[in-house]
Amino acid sequence: MYSFPPVSHETIDAGYQRFADLWNPILDVFDECGVRFALEVHPTEIAFDCVTAQRTLEAIGRRDAFGFNFDPSHLQWQGMEPARFITEFSDRIYHVHLKDAAVTLDGRTGILASHLPFGAANRGWDFRSVGRGDVDFEAIVRALNQGGYRGPLSVEWEDSGMDREHGARESCEYVKAVDFAPSTVAFDATFEQ
């Protein structure tokens, strides 16, 4: 969906304030219980890109109980660089979904998906099995390692064009192959002796 006529700045500001008013009491309880909430960043959420993610954190005073579930597919089809999101919010990545997306714009289709269901031939983008779309998973793993993420890499599989059991096996194998631990030494450290 595209917002037109444009929503006023006052309305957007009021929306972020309403979010803070509703969520701060919830986050108080999360703090008491030692819970961290991870919002999945994608369109239709209050945080759907780097700018809105920053604004969401600012609205609640950057509380530690609130972070993000990183899913590169939602950033990829919007034309963003998913690894950059990790770099900007490395301290707020609380969980990771690995899911792929392929953008297939052909001069006739667009990223708003033309009101077509997933898997339709005329969509301008669609989800793909991990490793079969446009997401650079090596860049993501490197950014996660550099940012200190040590949690799970959870496959979220939504490929309308592939048998799900085949896709699940293939995706798990792909993630195991692309995942690697960060280095514990600097390459040139041996020359400092």
Averages of pLDDT over runs of 10 residues in the chain (193 residues) are 82 97 98 98 94 98 98 96 98 97 94 92 94 97 97 95 95 95 79 69
- Summarised one tens digit per residue, pLDDT across range 86-141 is 999 999 999 999 999 999 999 999 999 889 999 998 999 999 999 999 999 999 99
User: pLDDT > 90: what percent of the chain?
Assistant: 87
Would you call 31 helix, strand, or coil by DSSP?
A: helix
**For the chain, which residues make up each domain, given as ranges?**
9-180
Give 63-90 as a 3 state SS string.
CCCEEEEECHHHHHCCCCCHHHHHHHCH
CB 121 within 8 A of CB 142: no
What is the pLDDT, as a whole number, of residue 186? 76
CA distances (Å), origin 179, targets 81, 118, 142: 19, 28, 9
Pick among 3.30.70.3450, 3.20.20.150, 3.30.470.10, 3.40.50.300: CATH of 9-180: 3.20.20.150
**36 in helix, strand or coil?**
coil
